[in-house]
Amino acid sequence: MTQPQIAIIGGGPAGLMAAERLSAAGVQVDLFDAMPSVGRKFLLAGRGGLNLTHAEPFADFVQRFGARRPQIEPMLEMFGPQALRDWAQGLGIETFVGTSRRVFPTDMKAAPLLRAWLHRLRAAGVRFHMRHRWIGFAQGAALRFATSDGEVTVRADAALLALGGASWPRLGSDGSWVPLLRERGIDVAPWQPANCGFDIGASGWTPFFAERFAGQPFKSVAIAFEDGQGRRFARKGEFVATATGIEGSLVYAVSALLRDQIAVHGRATLHVDLLPDRSPAQVLAAVQQRGAKSLGSHLKSRLGLDAIKSALLHEVLPREALHDAARVAATLKAAPLTVTAPRPVDEAISTAGGVRFEALDAGLMATAAPGLFIAGEMLDWEAPTGGYLLTASMASGAVAASAMRARLADGRLVPSGPADVYSPR
């Protein structure tokens, strides 16, 4: 009997994990990617210190997937945070738990891990076909690819799409597959930016603030926000001023709530505590002790307020209020910032939206296209930064691989039947 042929399209963490699981089980895997090399977003993630996963208790970890927890939790039970750390160790990459309980490779880098991973996959017989852009389906379940030598058609017994979301399209995942799946009757939720920055109010920053502080961090602050449904966010951290608004880790953490509130109300107001380690009474007492000094130098010497925090005070308070100690103190503890639009999807760290779980079975196979599996960020789930994105992407690749194996073992092949993989038309 001919050996079953599997096509994996997309060489990000989800596709590579599926390739690993299948090839380890002795299945011949052909992996296709539009880009000249695989794992580009993974490598970029490594630039900021690759955050592989999170070491919080499993019960807390699964909460991060919000409304999609019921779908993601069973996947994490198969391949969760500890399994990911063990897997990295198996590739010779030790990990450590940072102060925030985020887990990183000891050298913080992605490249050594990806190198070792690809070495393992090649040794297991995975064949890589770069510069193959999937452009849809040919007759039956055959797959069409655009290549530099023209179009080719590939037949496979089962195929996995792991094409990523739609953020940072220059790294390969551009979401151009959405109409292809919709035509096939597979339901895809519209993209939304996740872990994204925001533009602030209609008038934005003053030109002075934007010119002087764009790109500068607000360090040791806290953000508080409560949406219209009583969902609350309050956390310490840091974020960055941009020319038109705000971005950075603390903003990403609250971004889903802000985005959803803007979608309903057109705006969302969060409060920044510029001195989270001091009580309102301490701040008020310090502000009241101002003598002949300018407000800026008084706040700097008494409260250690740096230039960007001081400037924010001037952005949000009218000039006359700057003489009112009670208002200054209250604003230092809760400076209101109104955001009116998330930054576009292509700038976001990740995306919400994608193939709806309702279009799939428990093994991530599209019910409208038997033999076609979907994994990774192209599925409709979202999570904050903190290693949750990589963990769930890889977990879904592992789940799809196991379902593909089960399907092959049952002899339930796609309607096009076994045929020559990679057969140019």
Ligand X SMILES: Cc1cc2nc3c(=O)[nH]c(=O)nc-3n(C[C@H](O)[C@H](O)[C@H](O)COP(=O)(O)OP(=O)(O)OC[C@H]3O[C@@H](n4cnc5c(N)ncnc54)[C@H](O)[C@@H]3O)c2cc1C
The 8-class DSSP code of residue 379 comes to B
Beta bridge partners of 192: 352
The 8-class DSSP code of residue 221 comes to E
Identity of the residue, 227 or 346, whose beta carbon is nearer to ligand X in the bound complex: 346
Tokens 């990589």, located at residue? 390
The answer to whether 107 and 123 are in contact (CB under 8 A) is no
38 makes contact with ligand X (CB under 6 A): yes
Q: How far apart are CA 419 and CA 152, in angstroms?
A: 14
7 makes contact with ligand X (CB under 6 A): no
Q: How many residues bind ligand X (CB under 6 A)?
A: 39
Encoded one letter per residue, x for contact with ligand X by CB under 6 A and - for no contact, window 315-354 reads ----------------------------------xx----
The answer to whether 154 and 142 are in contact (CB under 8 A) is yes
Identity of the residue, 117 or 205, whose beta carbon is nearer to ligand X in the bound complex: 117
Least CB distance to ligand X at residue 160 (A)? 11
Identity of the residue, 38 or 308, whose beta carbon is nearer to ligand X in the bound complex: 38
Residue 364 Cα distances to 65, 162, 292, 374, 380, angstroms: 17, 11, 68, 6, 12
56 makes contact with ligand X (CB under 6 A): no
Candidate segments 165-173, 202-210, 403-411, 414-422, binder of ligand X by CB under 6 A: 165-173
Q: Which of 5, 192, 393, 402 touches ligand X by CB under 6 A?
A: 393
Q: Which of 5, 32, 197, 270 touches ligand X by CB under 6 A?
A: 32
Identity of the residue, 35 or 360, whose beta carbon is nearer to ligand X in the bound complex: 35
The answer to whether 352 and 256 are in contact (CB under 8 A) is yes
Q: Which of 19, 50, 154, 194 touches ligand X by CB under 6 A?
A: 50
401 makes contact with ligand X (CB under 6 A): no
Least CB distance to ligand X at residue 359 (A)? 17
Q: Which of 163, 166, 274, 305 touches ligand X by CB under 6 A?
A: 163
The answer to whether 257 and 232 are in contact (CB under 8 A) is no
Q: Which of 129, 303, 387, 401 touches ligand X by CB under 6 A?
A: 387
Q: How far apart are CA 290 and CA 311, in angstroms?
A: 18
Alpha helices per DSSP H over 95-217: 111-123, 178-183, 207-213
Least CB distance to ligand X at residue 313 (A)? 31
Alpha helices per DSSP H over 266-381: 280-288, 295-303, 307-316, 325-333
Token pair in block for residue 299: 């706040």
Q: Which of 35, 141, 240, 413 touches ligand X by CB under 6 A?
A: 35
Identity of the residue, 168 or 191, whose beta carbon is nearer to ligand X in the bound complex: 168
Q: Which of 103, 390, 395, 408 touches ligand X by CB under 6 A?
A: 390
The answer to whether 410 and 196 are in contact (CB under 8 A) is no
Q: How far apart are CA 62 and CA 70, in angstroms?
A: 9
The answer to whether 165 and 375 are in contact (CB under 8 A) is no
Identity of the residue, 155 or 298, whose beta carbon is nearer to ligand X in the bound complex: 155
Beta bridge partners of 233: 225
Identity of the residue, 337 or 421, whose beta carbon is nearer to ligand X in the bound complex: 421
- Counting every residue written for the chain, the total comes to 425
Identity of the residue, 45 or 329, whose beta carbon is nearer to ligand X in the bound complex: 45
93 makes contact with ligand X (CB under 6 A): no
The answer to whether 30 and 411 are in contact (CB under 8 A) is no
249 makes contact with ligand X (CB under 6 A): no
- CA nearest neighbour of 168 among 40, 9, 254: 40
Identity of the residue, 42 or 205, whose beta carbon is nearer to ligand X in the bound complex: 42
**102-105/158-161 β-pairing:** unpaired
Identity of the residue, 27 or 35, whose beta carbon is nearer to ligand X in the bound complex: 35
Q: Which of 389, 399, 400, 403 touches ligand X by CB under 6 A?
A: 389
Residues that bind ligand X (CB under 6 A): 9-15, 32-35, 38, 40-42, 44-45, 48, 50-51, 133-134, 162-164, 167-168, 172-173, 176-177, 349-350, 376-377, 387, 389-390, 393
